[in-house]
Amino acid sequence: MLKGIQKFAGVAAVLACGLSSQAFAQTQTCVPVLKSVAEVEKEVVDAKGVKSTKLMPLATATPGTLVIYTTTASNGCKQPIDNIEISNFVPEHMTYVASSAMATGAEVTYSLDGKTFGTADQLTVLENGVSRKARADEYKFFRWAFKGSLAPGAQAAASFRAVLN
Amino acid sequence: MILVLKQMRRVGLAVVALGAIGLSGTAFAQNTASGTSVVNTATVNYTVNAIAQTPINASATFLVDTVINLNLTGGTTVNVTPGQLNAVTVFTLTNTSNIASAFTLAAANTATGDDFDMNQPPATGTPGYILRVDANGNGTYEPGTDTATTIPTLARNASVVVFVLGDVPATAANTNTSIARLTANARDTAVGNPAWVASVGADVAGTVQIVVRNSTATVDDTYVVSSAALSVAKTSAVISDPFNLVSPNAKAIPGAVMEYTITVNNTGAQPATLNSVSDPVPALTTYLFPGQYTGARDVSIQVGAGAPTFCIAEAGGVDSNIDGCVRTGSTLTVGAPAITTVAASSSVIVKFRVTIN
């Protein structure tokens, strides 16, 4: 009986966590920290005259600028978080750069309308009544589904590149 | 979760719609308006202990800088005639900046690369041009309507036609060229239209920087003189003499019949009006009248490749039969209707005969 109550209490506690309001959830330690940045590649020359490419934060940009968007989810919890899926989209006025959507340990799927997601081979466009394969510059949405769980202290990162029209 | 997806779909639709518009104007694909805020929002969905948690969003936003650029097209060739006034040539200016810009314009002759300089209207006779901006967008110069000489503001991606006008000097010869060089300068739309000034220093968040990619463009149009170019040649041949009688054995001896041939040749690109051809009958000869041509006519006229026609040049200066041929004293004159014009790349040939005294 006692065991049963404990069991019940345990389930109740978990349910409470699952049904909790956002405010309540944020008081928990199990909220990953999500960070999204827009950056540009800049060539820097160090004291020894060695050139290297560095990502620099972007505040303003001219049309034609190649922007690298990187989203990072950090697990600050004491327990692993699972089924992590990072979603992002190509902002208005920008065009996706082919094959630039990437993440370690995740499968990426694309979408033209934000509803139908698929791999590059699965996406089609109906043009003048004829179905054709979607071009990369038509991709507007991304989803990165990470395999396995994210251990405490670990990070999941996904990025893509787009050019300002 | 559901709310987030809805927002994303809404954004998605907007993106798709704008994308379609963007495709139709591919020439200006990279020209997002200055000051546009480009917003990106990432979302993460996750579970803890197999229970879905509230998704989290994070945004990254940047501002679009001002880029100043322009495109000027010309390169056209305009055919003109010597002495022509207000000869118009056309240029097209496009504001390829991502913001509205003012433009100043200047048209000038070039020092080299052509044969002559056009003169500044209205009939000043001094080298130069005037320019006018197309006011109503119809691409045709209308003196009363198109009066502006600068462009106070031209919207992003908008185009306007600029007319350059010049007078062709009367001395300009056929095939001669004159280059009209138009220079356009992009200027700030602020009062007084100062030059665009590029921002210096570091990228500042929330402040639109100005990048002057190109603020000046220069393009040439060419005027080509397309006129008549006349030359006159006169030759003579002996037709017959009293002894050997006929060509080629005839000699130019007293009593011989000589034929004079006057050729008016137009090597130009335009027809020329030919008022008349006059020739004094050479001294020591006597004009052969009535003549030896068909119908006892004394003047043969061949216009172009047509068959010769013949007329009668009455003595006494009165063309009583109105055929265009008359003799005044010893001068033969051939005019309308026998000859009126010399077509381009063609000739008019007048022949008459005399006897040697």
Q: What is the mean pLDDT of residues A11-33?
A: 47
Please calculate the CA angle A75-A77-A78 and round it to the nearest 5 degrees: 130
CA distances from B283 to B7, B280, B331 (A): 106, 8, 11
- Which of A4 and B196 is assigned the larger pLDDT? B196
Considering only CA atoms, which of B197, B174, B183 is closest in space to residue B271?
B174
CB A65, CB A163: distance < 8 Å: yes
pLDDT of residue B21: 34
User: DSSP letters of chain A?
Assistant: -HHHHHHHHHHHHHHHHHH--HHHHHHSS---EEEEEEEEEEEEE-TT--EEEEEEE-SEE-TT-EEEEEEEEE--SSS-BEEEEEEEEPPTTEEEPTT--EETTEEEEEESSSS-EE-TTT-EEEETTEEEEPPGGG--EEEEEE-S-B-TT-EEEEEEEEEE-
Contact B16 A14 (CB under 8 A): no
Question: Any idea of the CA torsion for B324, B328, B332, B334, to the nearest 10 degrees?
Answer: -20
What are the backbone dihedrals phi and psi of residue B244, each rounded to the nearest 5 degrees, phi first?
-85, -10
User: Does A149 score more than 50 pLDDT?
Assistant: yes
Alpha-carbon span B89 to B164, nearest angstrom: 5
pLDDT of residue B252: 87
CB B233, CB B263: distance < 8 Å: yes
Mean pLDDT, consecutive 10-residue stretches, chain B (357 aa), reads: 35 34 42 94 91 92 95 93 94 96 96 93 94 95 94 95 96 91 96 92 84 95 89 92 80 91 89 88 90 92 93 92 92 92 92 93
CA distances from B5 to B9, B44, B62 (A): 6, 12, 23
Structure tokens at B301: 């006229």
ipTM exceeding 0.85, yes/no: no
Q: CB pairs under 8 A, 24+ apart, for A24-31?
A: A25/B53, A25/B54, A28/A77, A29/A76, A29/A77, A29/A78, A30/A77, A30/A78, A30/A79, A30/A81, A30/B48, A30/B53, A31/A76, A31/A77, A31/B53, A31/B56
Residue ranges of A 24-53 with Cβ closer than 8 A to chain B? 25, 30-32, 34-38
Q: What is the mean pLDDT of residues A106-135?
A: 91
> Mapping DSSP to helix (H, G, I), strand (E, B) and coil, where does residue B102 land?
strand
Structure tokens at B210: 């100005």
- Quote the minimal CA–CA distance from B5 to chain A in Å: 8
- Which of A130 and A10 is assigned the larger pLDDT? A130
Q: Can you give the length of chain A in residues?
A: 165
Interval A43-99: pLDDT, tens? 888 888 888 889 999 999 999 999 999 999 999 888 899 999 999 999 999 999 999
Contact A140 B208 (CB under 8 A): no
The burial class, CB within 10 Å (0-12 / 13-18 / 19+), for B113 is: exposed
**Strands B272-273 and B341-342, how do they pair?**
antiparallel
Task: List CB contacts (< 8 A) between A141 and chain B.
Answer: 8, 12
Contact B63 A81 (CB under 8 A): no
Of the candidates A22, A88, A111, which has its C-beta nearest B42's C-beta? A88
Residue of chain B whose alpha carbon sits nearest to that of A145: B45
Structure tokens at B218: 């220069």
pLDDT of residue B242: 87
Contact B54 A61 (CB under 8 A): no
pLDDT of residue A21: 41
Structure tokens at B327: 């003799």
Considering only CA atoms, which of B262, B261, B275, B279 is closest in space to residue B228?
B275
Alpha-carbon span B159 to B96, nearest angstrom: 9
Of the candidates B16, B29, B40, which has its C-beta nearest A165's C-beta? B29
Alpha-carbon span A113 to B199, nearest angstrom: 38
Cis peptide before B248 (omega within 30 of 0): yes
Query: Is A123 near chain B, with CB under 8 Å?
Result: no
CB A36, CB B40: distance < 8 Å: yes
Among B36, B44, B212, most A C-beta atoms within 10 A, so best to mutate, is B44
Alpha-carbon span A53 to A56, nearest angstrom: 9
pLDDT of residue B29: 56
